[in-house]
Amino acid sequence: MSEHSKFLEPITRENAAVVLVDHQVGLLSGVRDIPLEALKHNTVALARAAGVLGIPLVVTTTAADSMWGPTTPELVEALPAGQKIIDRSTVNAWHDDRVRKAVEATGRRKLIFAGVSLEVCAALPAIAATAAGYDAYVAVDASGTFSRTKRETGLLRMQQAGVVVSDYATLMVEALADNALPESGALYTALDMPFAVLVGQISAAHRG
Q: Based on the structure, what is the number of domains in the chain?
A: 1
The active-site residue out of 17, 121, 136, 175 is: 121
The pLDDT of residue 8: 82
- Are 109 and 3 spatial neighbours (Cβ–Cβ below 8 Å)? no
Q: Cα separation of 140 and 122, whole Å?
A: 9
**Active-site residue flag, 121:** yes
Q: Give the list of residues 6+ apart from residue 199 with CB closer than 8 angstroms, or none.
A: none
The pLDDT of residue 202: 52
The pLDDT of residue 196: 77
Q: Cα separation of 19 and 125, whole Å?
A: 9
Structural domain span for residue 203: 5-207
| Single pTM value for the model | 0.93
- Are 157 and 127 spatial neighbours (Cβ–Cβ below 8 Å)? yes
| CATH number of the domain within which 43 lies | 3.40.50.850
Q: Give the list of residues 6+ apart from residue 130 with CB closer than 8 angstroms, or none.
A: 136, 161, 162, 163
The pLDDT of residue 11: 97
Query: Per-residue DSSP letters for 90-153?
Result: -SSGGGSHHHHHHHHHHT-SEEEEEEBSIIIIIHHHHHHHHHTT-EEEEEGGG-B-SSHHHHHH
Low-confidence ranges of the chain (pLDDT < 70): 1-6, 200-208
The pLDDT of residue 44: 98
Query: Per-residue DSSP letters for 140-206?
Result: GGG-B-SSHHHHHHHHHHHHHTTPEEE-HHHHHHHHH--TTSTTHHHHHHHHT-TT---HHHHHHHH
The interaxial angle of helices 184-191 and 36-53, nearest 10 deg, is 160
